[in-house]
Amino acid sequence: MSGRTSGVLFLISAPSGAGKTTVCQNLLAANSDLVRAITCTTRPARDGEVNGRDYYFLDETEFISKIEGDAFLEHAVVYGNRYGTLKSEVQRLLESGKNILLNIDVQGAALLRRRAESDPLIRDSLVTVFLTPASWEELERRLRSRATDSETIILKRLRAAAVELGASEAFDYLVLSETMDEDRRRMETILEGESMRRSRNQLPEVLCEAAEKWGAK
Ligand code: 5GP
């Protein structure tokens, strides 16, 4: 018996182009005890994206009604579209004892940190990681290597990156991005350590029973 009491809500934020999507995909592929919390967005689905797998794609009216129904743990506008993390999704996965991967922006991370002050489920599970290349040149190179973005969008994302780097101080961990394998390994190191926190684990029952017997002798 593992004696596990609660999972880790493993939040990763990064400037766009930092390699966050790849590291998240690699982490999920290599760790069967880690599941992704699917979040909501009002942006249109990109080619190949599937509703309920990549995001819950909502229209503006549906999103607003979820805000009004207090369905979100956090929600924010990112590059002109709304994004939000459903309470029900996170609660369900955390209560099943799984580790949850949450790929959200720095505004969402700040909102969840604030929420942790009053919500014990989030307080006991939230671990925040900020991922960034170690140099501005590398950040810009990675952004530019995504041939799909126009110059205007690249400049907008670079300005946003400067703001996001400023917000990185409030995160629990800072991971400087190198190779894909090294990034995944570093994330796994954090996740493994956090999973072994005493507050997240109880002694196995069989061990307690044996200790009780020996203590009684
Ligand atoms: P994309 O549209 O490229 O998939 O994501 C754009 C940004 O929105 C990424 O930085 C992603 O992490 C962030 N994001 C995705 N879901 C959420 C969410 O539920 N809340 C917040 N605050 N950001 C999100």
Q: What is the pLDDT of residues 190-217, one digit of tens each?
A: 999 999 999 889 999 999 999 999 997 6
Residues 6+ apart with CB under 8 A from 204: 1, 2, 3
In this prediction, residues 7-23 reach a mean pLDDT of 93
Which SS3 state, helix, strand or coil, does residue 101 take?
A: strand
**pLDDT grade, residue 16 (50/70/90)?**
confident
| pTM assigned to the model | 0.94
Degrees (nearest 5) of the Cα angle 52, 5, 94?
A: 15
The Cα–Cα gap between 208 and 180 comes to 42
Q: Is ligand 1 within 6 A of the CB of residue 108?
A: yes
* Predicted local distance difference test score (pLDDT) of residue 19: 87
pLDDT at 3 over 70: no
Judge if the beta carbon of residue 76 lies within 6 A of ligand 1.
yes
Q: How many angstroms does the Cα of residue 210 sit away from the middle of ligand 1? A: 48
> E strand or H helix at 32, and its extent?
none
Ligand 1: which of 24, 50, 72, 78 to mutate, most ligand atoms within 8 Å of CB? Answer: 78
